[in-house]
Structure 1
Amino acid sequence: MVYYLIVCRSLTYAQRTAAVLERGGITGVVLRAPKSIVGEGCGYAVKVSERRLAQALVLLNRAELKPKGVYIAESDGSYRQVGP
């Protein structure tokens, strides 16, 4: 299954992001962001399905929550940035 990670600047922002998505009818799972994405330190992300990404970004924009980045999970287990 193809999914995206919406990377957030903190756990609090990841939780807020997931809450906004849930209110909009989108399931968003908060998880630790992979080291390959955040580098040093810890980061958090919200996992969303491929078919819900566009709607998720619209909801986040309306709520004025700006992600640090949006990444797609590749079939080989790596991640590629696809958004800001």
Structure 2
Amino acid sequence: MNRLVKGGLVLGGLVLGLGALRRALNPTPRYAPWEKPPYGEFEKKVLIVGGGFGGYTAATDLCKMTNGRDDVGVLVIARENFFTFWPMVPGIVS
């Protein structure tokens, strides 16, 4: 019985040690696959000032062109935190 307990403890310690070694050698990524790091951490940065039609189009086109690259960050700075298509407003209100 004593040998069985010792063998179980050795086996459990071995499993725990291998798990810790695997975590040390393969650390989890800093961000989840669907997340992007903060803008300041990118090697190359593109700043778009203005969130109108031109800024929005520039940002979407740049994001499409740099899709799959982890070294480019695109940031849009706009006065408002919304996007309104003004020609549609009278039709929506009435």
TM-score normalised according to structure 2 size: 0.26
Higher helix share: 2
Higher strand share: 1
* Structure with larger Rg: 2
Task: Name which structure has the greater RCO, CA cutoff 8 Å, separation 6+.
Answer: 1
